[in-house]
Each structure stands twice: as structure tokens, then as C-alpha cells.
Amino acid sequence: MFIWQQLSKSQQVDALARPAISDSDTLEQGVKRIINAVAENGDTALFDFTKNFDGVALDDLRLAKSQFQLAEQALSQSRKDAINTAYQQIKTFHSAQRFQDIDVETRPGVRCQLKSEAIESVGLYIPAGSAPLPSTVLMLGVPAQLAGCERVVLVCPPDKNGKLANEIIYAASICGIDEIYRIGGAQAIAALALGTQTIAAVNKVFGPGNKYVTEAKKQLSQSVPGFAIDMPAGPSELLVIADKGANPVFVAADLLSQAEHGTDSQVILLSDDEATINAVAEQLQLQLETLSRKDIAKKALAQSRLILCADIDEAALVSNLYGPEHLSLQVRDTDTLLSKVRNAGSVFVGDYSPESAGDYASGTNHVLPTYGYSKVASSLSLADFSRRYTVQTLTKYGLQSLAQTIVELTDAEGLDAHQRAVTLRVGNGNSDSIGGIECDESSVQDKGDVA
């Protein structure tokens, strides 16, 4: 246990330090080679890599139509019900995020709009490590569907038999996705960014992945003009602020739910009550013993930080410094604390809002900024599947009324042609003649609504 106020400045920095992300040349070069191979050999490279990395020789990259019905038939009703319920929850919250066009007459005859348009084609990367992740399919597939993206492509590495989990296929299908490719790793991201004979390139790729996937997203978003990715990725994080009234059993369970993600998961507890910290520490050991992913969680916990703060205000301050991906507020006065929280990807308020609820089914998105990016980046939302652009419509009167302003500013900036695009239309109000070019300086009487 650390006591925040007894730490020096540099110890405080260390206490909130994140694990270094290995940015090795080997990784960079390895991924570059994979990308180049896909760029040069297209599908052939994808077949080769899938054989080498996933251990299966495929005949066909795309999942056959027949698999969708088979997947649905193979799943238990209770599993389908769970996926349907989560789908509905996520849909309800993301539907409420629809962008409302903004339409303002900034002065008579000058109408400015901010409008939204779905991104035409998007790719969703779904990892398949120890277990399938249908929840991630829903977190990406639901907003893509709601945004109205014309083409939604899902990629997921196959198992040794060339199969994808039934849960993945079923979840994709209820999100309206029928274009699924059985590829994973850096090669899948390269295929989505560059396109191959079978797979047309997409505009933007979403989703989590291992270090090869993350590196490929980084490289391709830098090198392929117009290609974008969702957000920078780092290890998952949870910070819990707990007061004396918090239940140590709950707090420990939450910290463990984060710790089981990976050995580099970050787990931080802040409390103003030493007894609570000790009780949580005890519960962590007790609950750890019976977890199937005990070994992973144990390693992550070894790096965990239990920090005693002077009061809950100080805890809020420390949390804001860290900027956690997930922030759990297990305190009595949640309203006051919530008002002091600045930087977090998603906030879980009160004793009955475990991170698990948001990971699966409350309705919020579980793709969140990590590694300090919660200070600048937003949680994934409907907005990420569309783009906003402006539209302006000026009447002759509207332009005339801004002419003098634009003439002054273009003078300041030395941009004649910018100025002339205005004065040739409406004059500059001083009836100067302009380099022998015929001007339209007729009196302007077409004021009135531009809408």
C-alpha cells in the first residue's frame, strides 16, 4: 500500500506509471514484412499467413453463407437470448447518440450547417485467442449498423479447423453483417487497408487485437492516405475509488475482473480508509484462488497499486492525473465525486455497477481510450462510424454583408485571389475597379432567407 501524501513527486509519478509498451524494431520490421507481402501478393499472402500463423489451409477466405444458419442452430437458446439482450441494450444507448444536424443563420443571408454522413465502408477486427468475443462483435457491429455504413466487413482468425465460433457468427448476423473473412493478425489489417483480389479495401478499421494487429493498424493508418483507425490501443485498466462504506468483496471482484484480461492489465485502488484497503487486499487473495485465469490475474495483480488517500477529493485528483480507461466509484456520495471526475473512458457509479456490466450489457461501449488517452480521446460511439462536414449557403446579400470583413482579412494575409473571389461577385463596398475584370457591383436587394 502507498500513502499518496507520503510519496515524493517522482514516487507519485512512478505510482501511476503505465507499463512500457515494447516498441521493438523486430515487431516493426516483422509487421512491415507482412504488410508488404499482402500488398504484393494479395490473397495468396493471406492464405500463406493463415496456414503459418493459424495452422489451417483454407480454400476460401470468406465465410460461406450456409455457416450463418448452422451457427444459429448450434447455439443454445439461452446463449442466443444473452446475445440478443446485449444487442438490444447496446442498440438502445447508441440509438440515442444519433447526430442532430446543426443549422444556423449566422447573419441574414449566411446559412451554416454541420451535417453527418456514415463512413462508406468499415472493417471490424475481432480477435480469437483463448475464447470467442461476441461482445466485441456487438460493440462494433451495432454502431456500424445504426450509423448506416454501406459495407461492414468482419475479420476474425479461424481455429485449426478453419472455423469461427458460433457466437461470433450469430452476433455478426444480428448486426446485419454477412461479409466475414477468416483471417487475423497483421495480415487481416493489411487486407482491409490495402484490399486484395477477394477483399475490397475499407475506409476505417475498428477493434482490439494483439501487438501485431496494433502495430499494423498504426503503420497502415500512417502510410495509407485516407485510411483511418478507431483509436490507439494499450493494456486495459481499472481504477476503483472506494470509501469506508464500500464492500471489499465487490471491489476485489472488480479488480480481479480487470486483472484476468492480461498480465499487463493495470489495477489501481484508491481509498481514504486503510481498513478498506486491507480488506480488499485480503479478498483479492481469497478470490484469486478459484479463478480459471488465476495465473494471468496473479501477474497483473503483482503490478497493482493500492493507494491510501487523505480524502475522496484527493482520490479524484489522483484519478484525474492517471486518466483510467475504466473508473469505478464505490463511494456513498457518488454525485459529488462524479462532478470531480475529468479523465476516464467510462465511469461506473455506485456499488452495483461493476465494470462487467458495461463490458457486456449495460448499453455503453466497451471500446475505450487506454494508456492515458482518456485525457484527449473519446469512448467509442456512434460518431466514430460517421463523419461531420459543414455546408454553407450565402445569398448575394449575405456575401455582400461580409465583403468588407473578407477584404480586410485577405489584405492582412496577402491573398489577392481569395479577395477577388468575393469582390468579383459583389464588389468590396468601395466600388474599386479590379484589374480590368468585369465586376458585378449591381445593387444587392436579394436579402431574405437562404433556407
> Shortest gap between Cβ of 417 and a copy of itself (angstroms)?
4
Q: Is 326 considered catalytic here?
A: yes
Contact letters for a copy of itself, residues 408-437 (x by CB under 8 A): xxx-xxxxxxxxxxx-xxx--------xxx
Q: Is 325 considered catalytic here?
A: yes
> Shortest gap between Cβ of 224 and a copy of itself (angstroms)?
10
Q: Which of residues 34-73 bind a copy of itself (CB under 8 A)?
A: none
Distances, alpha carbon 256 to alpha carbons 29, 292, 304, in Å: 35, 12, 10
DSSP, collapsed to helix, strand or coil, labels residue 342 as coil
Among 286, 295, 332, 432, binds a copy of itself (CB under 8 A): 286
Collect all residues with Cβ–Cβ distance below 8 Å to 341 and sequence separation of at least 6: 316, 319, 320, 327, 329, 347
Of 44, 438, 53, 374, give the one whose Cα is nearest residue 209: 53
Residue 246 exposed, middle or buried by CB count within 10 Å (0-12, 13-18, 19+): buried
Q: How many helices (H) and strands (E) would you count in the chain?
A: 17, 14
Piece in contact with a copy of itself (CB under 8 A), picked from 33-41, 89-97, 176-184, 271-279 = 89-97
> Shortest gap between Cβ of 121 and a copy of itself (angstroms)?
9
Which cell numbers hold the place of 25? 524494431
Q: Which of residues 141-180 bind a copy of itself (CB under 8 A)?
A: 165, 167
Contact 283, 306 (CB under 8 A): no
Contact letters for a copy of itself, residues 93-132 (x by CB under 8 A): x--xx----x-x-xx--x-x-x--x-xx---------xxx
Q: Which of residues 215-274 bind a copy of itself (CB under 8 A)?
A: 218, 222, 225-228, 234, 247, 249-250, 253-254, 256-257, 259-260
Contact 262, 236 (CB under 8 A): yes
Contact 410, 402 (CB under 8 A): no
Q: How far apart are CA 190 and CA 44, in angstroms?
A: 13
Q: Which of residues 370-389 bind a copy of itself (CB under 8 A)?
A: 371-379, 381, 383, 387-389
Give the residue numbers of the binding site for Zn(2+): 258, 261, 359, 418
Active site residues: 325-326
Give the residue numbers of the binding site for substrate: 236, 258, 261, 326, 359, 413, 418
